[in-house]
């Protein structure tokens, strides 16, 4: 079943303690689409400028990503620059140049209008809603990301979009801000009244939590060092950029592939989301996903199971 | 198999957003002993002043806690006062009055000298070592807690004590400080060179992590709200004081009861530690442990399993 993603395709400049890249491909929809394409067919809606070359587009080639919905406009592609602190748990935005993204009006090609699974990456809630209006049948799952900016500036529009959302995927600060509740279980109950039936809380180095049917399910973050055999150089987090969108791609890609939203499958989706995110952070930008093999995903998922399972 | 704990018995004054208590029984050894006594017999070594009454001692009555090693000295009992911030993830120490604890020299009664399991709560590393010198046979498991103060002030003495430690149980800040490594897996490898064969990292609201045999095992913190059926009032964290020591009590109590230190049992011990800690924080001080029943522990452990288990 095909999966639609609507969001940013961008160029990023990133500085971490492990290095500095002045310009690399990025954007929520890019990370999401590449990650999800390991599990299912992805339809991508976004916008790029005339500085977006065939070489940039090659990230999607040879993958199950349809880019018919990737609009090309005159001007420059969205650009973001940021710097991470020493422990990479905080980042400073150095530049945000919207460029062609400022006038982005998502338009779904005909073939995308019957998408059963939809991920609305972090954009203006009204644009998110406009995507849903273009879909012909009620989708099986609509998942959505948002951020503090929209929670503060466009609360009414966000509430309208949330009414049509099945799964909200945000971080813990956003969860607390949206619900005005510190306790995450109370926060979830508040959010369920707004529309979503499931809440995925992304917690960075602390993993992720799913609240569904009033139950919590927690997955830890992958301690990267342990997955490498002694003969290999030690890997660790080199660049957290895109980890959350990669998580969302693994999560939704898996769900679309199994065509189910049972609790059992939602839990597996959490694991595949975490596994995919753990690959992305190993190298800068999309570099690790570029070379990733499906077999590596399954090996790491089994490793992940070993890291969390116990019997009583 | 009996379990020896050496550490503080204290009176605490605690303020949290849920209330204020001017004087309540506390101390690492107290929380540890009460928690561990649900699993095994506990021998307690500590010191109290003449303000410690029979009523205070009654917390140990009717439990498998031997207090022959609880010394009574002229003067006042150790007193600690602290205040938690709104989200209870930070606390400010308002007062630390060592009183009789300043001259504490742990002395093991004869019957304690063959203890197979030992927990050295957070005291001067030289006092921790002195306990081990009084033990006649090599214990099966020596577990140890420490803090930033000893890591900074008595690094040499701490290293000597760590040489004889099997399991180090500290928080993430202490792990990073002791190892000078931010990455917790690297930090663990550093610590293993100092003596311990296992590291338990207590992460407060983010759960706990065990590193053992170069593998990580993570347990999330219990989201307290979900364990209560709708008809009951919502419970949440009311007072985090003693959570770490209760965790250690559940962990070591369980291990002593099964007389094993296999990876399977260490993982179960992590679960029982988390479960015990989740009870303590529901009420102030020892109030929740006072009324806790063994059946409640097992119910919550099963609930904990549901919260973390998945199949691939």
Please write the tens of the pLDDT for every residue from A263-291: 999 999 999 999 999 999 999 999 999 99
| CB-nearest partner of A216 from B87, B184, B223 | B223
| pLDDT value at A190 more than 90 | yes
Shortest CA distance from B219: residue in chain A: A308
Q: What residues in chain B have their Cβ under 8 A from chain A's Cβ atoms?
A: 86-87, 182-186, 203, 206-207, 209, 214-218, 220, 223-226, 234, 236-237, 264, 267-268, 270-271, 301-302, 305-312
The residue of B298, B310, B312 whose CB has the most chain A CBs within 10 angstroms, and thus the best one to mutate to test that interface, is B310
| Residues in chain A within 8 Å Cβ distance of B240 | none
Per residue, the 3-state secondary structure of chain B, as one string, reads CCEEEECCCEEEEEEECCEEEEEEEECHHHHHHHHHCCCCCEEEEEEECCCCCHHHHHHHCCCCEEEEEEEECCCCCCEEEEEECCCCCCEEEEEEECHHHHHCCCCCCHHHCCCCEEEECCCCHHHHHHHHHCCCCCCCEEEECCCHHHHHHCHHHHHHHHCCCCEEEEEHHHHHHHHCCCCHHHHHHHHHCCCCCEEEEECHHHCEEEEECCEEEEECCCCHHHHCCCCCCCCCCCCCCCHHHHHHHHHHHHHHHHCCCCHHHHHHHHHHHHHHHHHHCCCCCCHHHHHCCHHHHHHHHHHHHHHHCCCC
| CB-nearest partner of B217 from A87, A224, A307 | A307
Q: Output the pTM of the full model.
A: 0.92
pLDDT confidence bin for B227, thresholds 50/70/90: very low
pLDDT confidence bin for B88, thresholds 50/70/90: confident
Residues B101, A125: Cα–Cα separation, whole Å:
60
Report the percentage of chain B scoring pLDDT > 90. 85
Shortest CA distance from B267: residue in chain A: A310
Among B27-41, B155-169, B231-245, the minimum mean pLDDT is found in: B231-245
Residue A235 pLDDT:
56
| pLDDT value at A13 more than 60 | yes
Report the percentage of chain B scoring pLDDT > 70. 96
Residue B204 pLDDT:
86
Among A78-92, A167-181, B119-133, the minimum mean pLDDT is found in: A78-92
CA neighbor of A45 nearest in space, from A27, A61, A58, A62: A27
Among A39-48, A269-278, B80-89, B142-151, the minimum mean pLDDT is found in: B80-89
Average pLDDT over residues B226-242: 63
Residue A227 pLDDT:
47
Question: How many angstroms separate the CA of residue A14 from the nearest CA in chain B?
Answer: 21
Residue B241 pLDDT:
95
Please write the tens of the pLDDT for every residue from B2-17: 899 999 999 999 999 8
| pLDDT value at A234 more than 50 | no
Average pLDDT over residues B208-221: 90
Pull the structure tokens for residue B169: 């149980």
Interchain CB distance below 8 Å, A305 and B302: no
């Amino acid at each position: 079943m095909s999966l639609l993603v609507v969001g940013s395709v961008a160029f990023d400049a990133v500085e971490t303690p492990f290095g500095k890249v002045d310009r690399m491909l990025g954007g929520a929809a890019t990370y999401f689409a590449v990650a999800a394409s390991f599990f299912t067919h992805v339809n991508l809606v976004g916008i790029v400028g005339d500085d977006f070359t065939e070489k940039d587009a090659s990230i999607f080639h040879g993958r199950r990503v349809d880019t018919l919905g990737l609009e090309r406009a005159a001007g420059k592609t969205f650009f973001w620059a940021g710097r991470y602190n020493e422990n990479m748990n905080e980042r400073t935005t150095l530049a945000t140049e919207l460029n062609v993204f400022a006038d982005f009006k998502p338009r779904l090609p005909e073939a995308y209008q019957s998408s059963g699974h939809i991920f609305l990456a972090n954009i203006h809630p009204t644009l998110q809603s406009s995507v849903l209006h273009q879909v012909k049948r009620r989708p099986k799952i609509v998942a959505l990301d948002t951020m503090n900016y929209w929670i503060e500036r466009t609360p009414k529009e966000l509430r309208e979009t949330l009414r049509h959302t099945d799964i909200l995927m945000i971080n813990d600060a956003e969860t607390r801000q949206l619900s005005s509740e510190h306790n995450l279980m109370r926060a979830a109950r508040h959010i369920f009244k707004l529309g979503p039936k499931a809440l995925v809380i992304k917690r960075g180095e602390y993993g992720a939590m799913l609240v569904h049917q009033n139950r919590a399910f927690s997955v830890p973050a992958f301690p990267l060092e342990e997955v490498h055999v002694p003969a290999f150089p030690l890997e660790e987090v080199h660049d957290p950029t895109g980890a959350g969108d990669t998580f969302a791609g693994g999560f939704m890609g898996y769900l679309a592939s199994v065509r189910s939203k049972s609790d059992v499958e939602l839990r597996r989706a959490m694991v595949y989301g975490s596994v995919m995110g753990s690959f992305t952070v190993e190298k800068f930008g999309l570099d690790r996903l570029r070379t990733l093999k499906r077999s590596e995903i399954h090996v790491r998922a089994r490793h992940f199971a070993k890291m969390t399972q116990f019997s009583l």
